[in-house]
Amino acid sequence: MAFPLLKLPVLAYEEVLLNFEVADLIDFSLLSSRCHRIIRSTRFPLTGIDVCIGSFNSDCLRFSNGTPHPIAIWRFMKEPWRKVSDTENGWRRIGRTRIRIQKEPTWVSTRKPIKNIKVAFDYARDLFRLPVVRFSLSHTEQNVFPQQYGITKCDEVYMWVFHKIPVDELKYILEKMEISKKLTLYLKENNDFECGFVQFSMDDLVIKRAFWITKETFLAMDCARITLQGNKDLPIKEFVSQWLSSRNTRFEWLKMYECRRWNRENINWNDEFKPMKWNPAIRGRNFKISDFQRVDCEKGIDFLREDGMLATVVKGRQGLIYFIVWHKRFQPEADNLQLDSW
């Protein structure tokens, strides 16, 4: 016997809907224009949506509610799955697109045609009025990028692919998007990529094959944590000098390939600076750079800023150089961690 949900008072059926799974809410919204209006006008505890392309042999949309783990995942499988649908044929219509949806035992649809996930993204984003939290493209040959999804603002972008990324798509990410928390780029096949000045201001910046980063872009980086691999000769001394003459309290560390001048020992840290050797009474030996890794700063060169902030430049393994700011001068929790590397 069917339950007459919509005959209940508004507050009553909204309370029922708040206990629905995300998949059921989307299903309900597709029943009629009235159902769509009801879902769209109800405030659900959802805080964002992620687009993940190339994730474990499937693409997916992930829905978050402010907790570390997604509250729901809608997968788009490459290959058809066994028919275990909760309806007779599992087909739904979103606009002019027919998409097969299975909700049990997991919430999945087919990836073919490729537009399916884009149609589902547009519908779910508009239905719940969600911001985009993360766009991820990893280990896939698919040419799917944020510009095609109309994404201009998000917390995180992760691009780790082994095929050439179109230049216009790269420049859209670098020049048009507002990324607040983390940008990760690995440009394996973009050997001839060139880019002028880019203003980076997210919390975490990770660029593998950073040969295209210019001096101007490097010195203007306003990030808390910076990782550059495969970079050209960048002016680490100017970067340190810039920090020493500033009042920047956001910056935490820089990790990159050693400059050629450093390798040739042409950097004179006594020129313009007042470098100091490590004093165990002033700071600890090890710096915690991640939950699992540390930087040994025993042989580092220390600098004290006028406001009392202490920083260290130190050479690491595998051609690494670090510039570290000691927001917490003693970190005994780092002593038993592994040494950092690439």
Does any domain span residue 314?
A: yes
Can you give the residue range of the structural domain that contains 338?
233-342
pLDDT at 86 over 60: no
How many domains are contained in the chain? 1
What's residue 285's pLDDT? 98
**Residue 266 pLDDT class (50, 70, 90 cuts):** low
The answer to whether residues 84 and 168 touch, using CB atoms and an 8 Å cutoff, is no
Structure tokens at 8: 């209940």
CA angle 306, 310, 315 (to 5 degrees): 130
Taking residues 292-318, what's their average pLDDT? 95
Give 200: exposed, middle or buried? Use CB within 10 Å, 0-12, 13-18, 19+. middle
Q: What is this structure's pTM? A: 0.90
Does any domain span residue 214?
A: no
Measured CA to CA, the distance from residue 171 to residue 60 in angstroms comes to 25
What mean pLDDT is reported for the chain? 89
Q: Which helix (H) or strand (E) holds 160?
A: strand 153-161
pLDDT at 193 over 70: yes
Give 122: exposed, middle or buried? Use CB within 10 Å, 0-12, 13-18, 19+. middle
